[in-house]
Amino acid sequence: MSELPPLPRTTTAAGVVGPVDATQVPRYAGPATFARLPRTDEVSRADVAVLGVPFDSGVSYRPGARFGPAHVRAASKLLRPFNPANGAHPFGDQQVADAGDVGVNPFDLGEAIDAVERAATAVRADGARLLTLGGDHTIALPLLRSLAKDHGPVAVLHFDAHLDTWDTYFGAPYTHGTPFRRAAEEGLVDPERCLHMGTRGPLYSAQDLEDDRTLGFQVIRSDDYEVDGVASLVERMRRRLGDGPVYVSVDIDVLDPAHAPGTGTPEAGGLTSRELLQTLRGLAGLDVVGADVVEVAPAYDHAEITGIAAAHVAYELLSVLALRG
Ligand SMILES: N=C(N)NCCCC(=O)O
Ligand SMILES: [Zn+2]
Ligand SMILES: [Zn+2]
């Protein structure tokens, strides 16, 4: 079969292959990869791989995060190569490529969790850092399992309305409300360096917070943003995370439902997208070894509000990775 000519891409002097050139192919045309970047099989190696995990068998309320990866990729088409907020070229100072989706079993949660860990380990085997698009929050557990094999216990910086350190739901240990309790029990996280940000909303009991503290988490609440402001919270965040490896997990429901309606367990009183993006920029210089953006459920989204927020979260995370030099 005859083929279309190759898509025009910007390639830097160092050989980094960027997104399809938007001055030659309009943004709504071209590939469905994240930010119209090359696929991992189109480049010789990647510094960062974007991996989709279309999985939502761990949810406790509204389903639909299995469609998150495709939605975030679709909403990422407008991202441009230069980040003026911090001077990063997230697609030029490092090779970013899209590794596609993991094919996970929606009917067997244990098998799905193992498949995510295997995929993460395979994609990271050539040295790529992983930015994962979920999927519900259950997937943070296998992602941490994979990372801990190389890095040992990591700091977890967890943006979420919820603690996600609950024990079980209906007796089930692996759900989107329990990944960080399992991770702590398995010794995958450094209990001196873990932090939730944006926590809010009703709990089951006061004991939830006690348990959470015992597992090694500190909490910066959504309300603290109002009182303390981003700059002072960033200072606190950096003190807590220290110099070692950091895993960043962003549940999009950390945003107020006005800023992210498309999610499964929304809670009022959340962060603005501006607060979240600014906080992420505060990670510059830290050793971010992996990250995820989870819980985007497009069926409840409007006008791509949530998809765009998630794409920008991913962009800021890629910028932090690019600034590591
Ligand atoms: N990880 C997310 N998004 N939600 C957890 C909520 C668990 C619950 O229904 O209590
Ligand atoms: Zn949540
Ligand atoms: Zn969560």
* Residue range 239-264, pLDDT digits in tens: 999 999 999 999 999 999 999 999 99
Please name the residue whose Cα sits nearest to atom 7 of ligand 1.
177
Does the annotation flag 190 for ligand binding? no
Q: Are 132 and 247 in contact (CB under 8 A)?
A: no
The identity of residue 163, as a single letter, is L
- H/E stretch holding 244 reads none
What is the arithmetic mean of pLDDT over 125-148?
Answer: 98
**With the CA atoms of 169, 53, 156 and 90 taken in that order, what torsion angle do they form, in degrees rounded to the nearest 10?**
-160
Residue 265 CA to ligand 2 center (angstroms) comes to: 6
Please name the residue whose Cα sits nearest to atom 9 of ligand 1.
60
Among 307, 319, 225, 218, smallest CA distance to 260 is for 307
298: pLDDT confidence band, cut at 50, 70 and 90? very high
Residue 60 CA to ligand 1 center (angstroms) comes to: 6
Please name the residue whose Cα sits nearest to atom 6 of ligand 1.
177
Among 98, 92, 99, smallest CA distance to 21 is for 92
Question: Does the structure show a pLDDT above 70 at 157?
Answer: yes
Q: What does DSSP assign to residue 286?
A: S
For the Cβ of 175 lying below 6 angstroms from any atom of ligand 1, the answer is no
Question: pLDDT at position 2, please?
Answer: 79
5: pLDDT confidence band, cut at 50, 70 and 90? confident
Question: pLDDT at position 30, please?
Answer: 86
Question: pLDDT at position 310, please?
Answer: 99
Q: Is the dihedral of CA 184, 186, 188, 191 positive or negative?
A: positive
Atom of ligand 1 nearest to the CA of 204: 10
Q: Are 60 and 138 in contact (CB under 8 A)?
A: no
Question: pLDDT at position 98, please?
Answer: 98
| Interval 62-96: pLDDT, tens | 999 999 999 999 999 999 999 999 999 999 999 99
Question: pLDDT at position 237, please?
Answer: 98
**Domains defined for the chain, CATH in brackets:** 9-323 (3.40.800.10)
Q: What does DSSP assign to residue 5?
A: P
Question: Does the structure show a pLDDT above 70 at 325?
Answer: no
What is the arithmetic mean of pLDDT over 173-189?
Answer: 98
Enter the pTM of the model: 0.98
What is the arithmetic mean of pLDDT over 284-303?
Answer: 98
For the Cβ of 60 lying below 6 angstroms from any atom of ligand 1, the answer is yes
Question: Does the structure show a pLDDT above 90 at 4?
Answer: no
What is the arithmetic mean of pLDDT over 108-137?
Answer: 97
Residue-level length of the chain: 325
- Three-class DSSP category at 101: strand
- Three-class DSSP category at 149: helix
Average pLDDT of the chain, as a whole number: 97
Chain centroid to Cα 267, Å, comes to 19
| Interval 19-54: pLDDT, tens | 999 999 999 998 999 999 999 999 999 999 999 999
Question: pLDDT at position 6, please?
Answer: 86
Mutate to test the pocket of ligand 1, among 60, 137, 251 (most ligand atoms within 8 A of CB): 60
- What is the Cβ-side half-sphere exposure of residue 226, based on CA atoms within 13 angstroms? 6
Residue 177 CA to ligand 1 center (angstroms) comes to: 4
